[in-house]
Amino acid sequence: MSATLQNLVNQPYKHGFVTSIESDVAPKGLNEDTIRMISAKKKEPEWLLEFRLKSYEAWLKMEEPAWPNVHYPKIDFQAISYYAAPKQKPKLKSMDEVDPELLRTFEKLGVPLHERMALAGVAVDVIFDSVSVATTYKHKLAEVGIIFCSMSEAVLDHPELVKKYLGTVIPPSDNFYAALNSAVFTDGSFCYIPKGVKCPMDLSTYFRINTEESGQFERTMIIAEEGSSVSYLEGCTAPAFSSNQLHAAVVELVALDNADIKYSTVQNWYAGDENGVGGIYNFVTKRGLAKGVNSRISWTQVETGSAITWKYPSCVLLGDNSVGEFYSVAVTNHYQQADTGTKMIHIGKNTRSTIVSKGISAGHSNNSYRGLVKIAPSATGARNYSQCDSMLVGHQSGAHTFPYIQVANNSSQVEHEASTSKIGEDQLFYFAQRGINAEAAVSMIINGFCKDVFQQLPMEFAVEATALLSFKLEGSVG
Amino acid sequence: MIYKDSKILLEVRGLCANVSGTEILKGLDLTVRSGEIHAIMGPNGSGKSTFSKILAGHSAYEVTGGTVMFEGQNLLELAPEERARAGVFLAFQYPIEIPGVGNSQFLRLTYNTVQTHRGKEELDPLEFDDYVREKMKLLEMSPDFLERSVNEGFSGGEKKRNEILQMAMLDPRLAILDETDSGLDIDALRIVANGVNQLANKDNAIVLVTHYQRLLNYIVPDYVHVMEAGRIIKTGGKELAFELESRGYDWVGVEHKATARATA
Ligand SMILES: Nc1ncnc2c1ncn2[C@@H]1O[C@H](COP(=O)(O)OP(=O)(O)OP(=O)(O)O)[C@@H](O)[C@H]1O
Ligand SMILES: [Mg+2]
């Protein structure tokens, strides 16, 4: 690697600062009392406390998964604090009431909220250390019957909806981290789109971990009733801490007949430094249930951050003719590790799924695609198309593909394509010979490589994702 | 064409260079004035491509001695992209494929980068499209190539044409064409040569690396150089190419050694 290129990759993390808002942090450790404490703090109904305790019980009996292609020291779950809420004043009616320090934080993140909202017409539900501090555009959305609020609020204001769907797509016993999340989740977003309503704007959440050594356990749920549609954007950033932090979120989506949910993520959690010290452990369970006929669930993710990413946004295609999509760009650099992909479970007739995965590995990082396409006997006429492309930047990174295909009927069609390419010195020399410097060349190559995924993103996000990728990778070749 | 009193564009003196520790260039001298067309011929492995890439600034080659001046500045001090912006163009012997990057997008970026550097206006995508289509006509290239990825899946000859298209767009001061003729069919050779001839003028210069006299029927060189073992060992006029065609290279080396002994 040439020196200029080195410098470019080694850009310090722009979002690494700690906001000095006073936090209300629970003592470290996890036991039934911690769970009772969280539930009590949030004034939750009894059934939810029970849900948490059952999940905790299940979790105690489970083992951390060892199959992902990632390596890290054992996590001490008793050394984590399971609740951190910014000490906030009572409920806020407008953005003006939000702690100015918090607003400054967002500004430093490059997310000037009001501006962003005004420009993009985006409703942002701000998650700041697990507790939602401001919900905007809520009233405008309420006019058409859309509920968009924090999970804590939903539990109090719409308990019947939460109770009906919580844990139905991802049961607490689904996996180790989902069980942990089900026991200790603190907040998250809740969206409900009523029958026949097309959500008039993209809904957006900015997540952020701010307290050192506090785990972040969000729980997000989106319900799209018959004939409705919604596009949801999730962006994440976390400041730089030298210790590793755990982030174990759960996201459940339910699409009923003819409903359409599009879920887009740009993940830029702190990735650790260039020696692999620090960074977020991002162990996330995301799954959508395409429950109704002709329903559609589409995941688009751009994963650039976290020391370790373990994440498989999946679709269960239950309704006949339902559609599942997964578009992913995962970038790793330095000592980052990512094991990500999707599961497409075809159950309904004529269900269709598309998987487009682009993995980019630079530095000493390791990037794995893991995907399951499962076609049940009932899913006659099902079709899947998968395309998994890896790009290596430099000589010390690794790319791996683990596709699992299980087809249980013979009227179905599964297609899998894979490729590995490399940004080589000679490609960069070709650009240079035509006057184009390495930064511009890398960004052009990467954008070309990712374009099938980027074009799935809403406009503002696509621009942000493009910038983020160039920023992450510039100079990692040479 | 040789013009009286024309300026020196490129002056190479005693150039020595290594790749992975092996010495490839061993004291190469070459002077190119504006308006001139030079042909460099020589056996496989004699260092012609190495020399071309060193002029363009490839980082795999280490210059261990000698000087290279381009329009009065030390070319070796410039980064590859700066050389390109200053007007050094290399048509590659093996143009690389860049999957995923649209040819038209790439061509526009390179054109605008170089234009900006020359203090000229950039073209927006629509203006550029008109501009590039005009240039493609010169080379009888189908506009379909704009829609494809840079060189990806292009045939050998199509790649070479895409190189000359870029030369036509960028209007370099010094164009080095490394075996642009190999891989071209008879018609393509004529078309490409025709394009190159139209681009040649009294302010620029062209260095052709070739194995075949055939190209030189179309693009008539002012000088023909023979390169062997990292050095230019003989220089002549266009007739030298005919002689090489009929006699091969061996005699040049023999003659060179004899003169070297005589002058020693
Ligand atoms: N990267 C490299 N590593 C090792 N040797 C190299 C490298 N590049 C060039 N060489 C060697 O340098 C010598 C000169 O190669 P070069 O490509 O310049 O020859 P050429 O004159 O262009 O030959 P041709 O007529 O076959 O194109 C060859 O012996 C070649 O093997
Ligand atoms: Mg050669």
- For residues A396-422, one letter each, b for 16 or more C-beta atoms within 10 angstroms of the residue's C-beta and e for the rest, the string is ebbbebebeeebeeeebebeeeeeebb
Interface pTM (ipTM) of the complex?
A: 0.96
Name which residue sits closest to atom 10 of ligand 1, judged by CA.
Answer: B19
B168 interface with A at CB cutoff 8 Å: no
Query: Is ligand 1 within 6 A of the CB of residue B45?
Result: yes
pLDDT at residue B237 in the model: 94
Name which residue sits closest to atom 26 of ligand 1, judged by CA.
Answer: B44
pLDDT at residue A463 in the model: 74
Residue pair A237/A271 in contact by the 8 Å Cβ criterion: no
CA of B47, nearest ligand number: 1
Best probe of the B interface among A4, A5, A426, A431, by most B CBs < 10 A, is A431
Closest chain B residue to the Cα of A430, Cα to Cα? B96
CA B50 to ligand 1 centroid distance, Å:
6
In a domain, B120, yes or no: no
In the predicted model, is pLDDT for residue B23 greater than 50? yes
End-to-end CA gap in chain A = 5
pLDDT at residue A112 in the model: 44
Which residue among B58, B85, B96 places its CB closest to the CB of A427? Answer: B96
Query: Is A213 strand, coil or helix?
Result: coil
Among B16, B23, B24, the mutation site with the greatest number of ligand 1 atoms within 8 A of its Cβ is B24
CA of B45, nearest ligand number: 1
Q: Could you give the angle at the alpha carbon of A134 between the alpha carbons of A128 and A138, nearest 5°?
A: 135
Query: Is ligand 1 within 6 A of the CB of residue B69?
Result: no
Q: Which residue has the tokens 């696509």?
A: A462
Atom of ligand 1 nearest to the CA of B60: 1
CA of B43, nearest ligand number: 1
Residue pair B176/B52 in contact by the 8 Å Cβ criterion: yes
CA B119 to ligand 1 centroid distance, Å:
37
Query: Is A154 strand, coil or helix?
Result: helix
Query: Is ligand 1 within 6 A of the CB of residue B50?
Result: yes
Which residue among B53, B59, B90 places its CB closest to the CB of A2? Answer: B59
Interface of B with A in 60-119 (CB under 8 A): 60, 79-81, 83-85, 89-90, 92, 95-96, 98-102, 105-106, 109-110, 113-114, 117
Q: State how far residue A437 is from chain B, nearest Cα, in angstroms.
A: 6
In a domain, B162, yes or no: no
Query: Is A459 strand, coil or helix?
Result: helix
Which residue among A433, A448, A451 places its CB closest to the CB of B80? Answer: A433
CA A238 to ligand 1 centroid distance, Å:
50
Query: Is ligand 1 within 6 A of the CB of residue B94?
Result: no
Closest chain A residue to the Cα of B163, Cα to Cα? A434
Residue among A237, A228, A234 nearest A204 (CA) = A234
Closest chain B residue to the Cα of A450, Cα to Cα? B100
- Integer-rounded Cα radius of gyration of chain B: 19
Measured CA to CA, the distance from residue B25 to residue B15 in angstroms comes to: 7
Q: What is the domain range of residue B245? A: 8-98+173-263
Closest chain A residue to the Cα of B86, Cα to Cα? A435
pTM for this predicted structure = 0.80
Cβ contacts from A onto B, under 8 A: 73
Closest chain A residue to the Cα of B166, Cα to Cα? A434
From residue A213, how far is each of A160, A202, A281, B149 by CA, in Å?
34, 32, 12, 47
Q: Do B89 and A451 touch (CB under 8 A)?
A: no
Question: Exposed, middle or buried: residue A163 (CB in 10 Å: 0-12, 13-18, 19+)?
Answer: middle
Atom of ligand 1 nearest to the CA of B211: 25
Three-state DSSP string of chain B: CCCCCCCEEEEEEEEEEEECCEEEEEEEEEEEECCCEEEEECCCCCCHHHHHHHHHCCCCEEEEEEEEEECCEEHHHCCHHHHHHHCEEEECCCCCCEEEEEHHHHHHHHHHHHHHHCCCCCCCHHHHHHHHHHHHHHCCCCHHHHCCEECCCCCHHHHHHHHHHHHHHHCCCEEEEECCCCCCCHHHHHHHHHHHHHHCCCCCEEEEECCCHHHHHHCCCCEEEEEECCEEEEEECCHHHHHHHHHCCHHHHHHHHHHHHHHC
Q: Do A436 and B109 touch (CB under 8 A)?
A: yes
Q: Do A444 and B110 touch (CB under 8 A)?
A: no
- Calculate the average pLDDT of chain B: 94
pLDDT tens-digit profile of B143-168? 999 999 999 999 999 999 999 999 99
pLDDT tens sequence for chain A (478 residues): 344 334 433 445 555 545 555 556 677 888 999 999 989 988 999 999 999 999 999 999 999 888 888 888 888 888 887 877 655 434 445 555 555 655 555 554 455 454 444 333 345 555 554 444 344 566 678 889 999 888 988 999 999 999 999 999 999 999 999 999 999 998 888 999 999 999 988 887 654 444 444 458 889 999 999 999 999 988 765 555 556 788 899 999 999 999 999 999 888 887 888 888 888 889 999 999 999 999 999 999 999 888 899 999 999 999 999 999 999 999 998 888 999 999 999 999 999 999 999 999 988 899 999 999 999 999 999 999 999 999 998 788 889 999 999 999 999 999 999 999 888 888 999 999 999 998 889 889 988 899 899 999 887 677 777 777 777 776 666 4
Measured CA to CA, the distance from residue A163 to residue A49 in angstroms comes to: 12
Q: Which residues 6+ apart lie within 8 Å of B205 measured at CB?
A: B9, B10, B32, B33, B34, B35, B36, B37, B38, B173, B174, B175
Among B15, B44, B50, the mutation site with the greatest number of ligand 1 atoms within 8 A of its Cβ is B50
How many other C-beta atoms lie within 10 A of the C-beta of residue B256?
17
Q: Do B84 and A432 touch (CB under 8 A)?
A: yes
In a domain, B215, yes or no: yes
Kindly state the average pLDDT of the residues B227-246: 93
Query: Is A447 strand, coil or helix?
Result: helix
Name the domain count of chain B: 1
Query: Is ligand 1 within 6 A of the CB of residue B48?
Result: yes
CA B34 to ligand 2 centroid distance, Å:
24
From residue B239, how far is each of B221, B242, B248, B254 by CA, in Å?
10, 5, 14, 19
In a domain, B107, yes or no: no
CATH number at residue B177: 3.40.50.300
In a domain, B122, yes or no: no
Q: Do A425 and B60 touch (CB under 8 A)?
A: yes
Q: State how far residue B181 is from chain A, nearest Cα, in angstroms.
A: 19
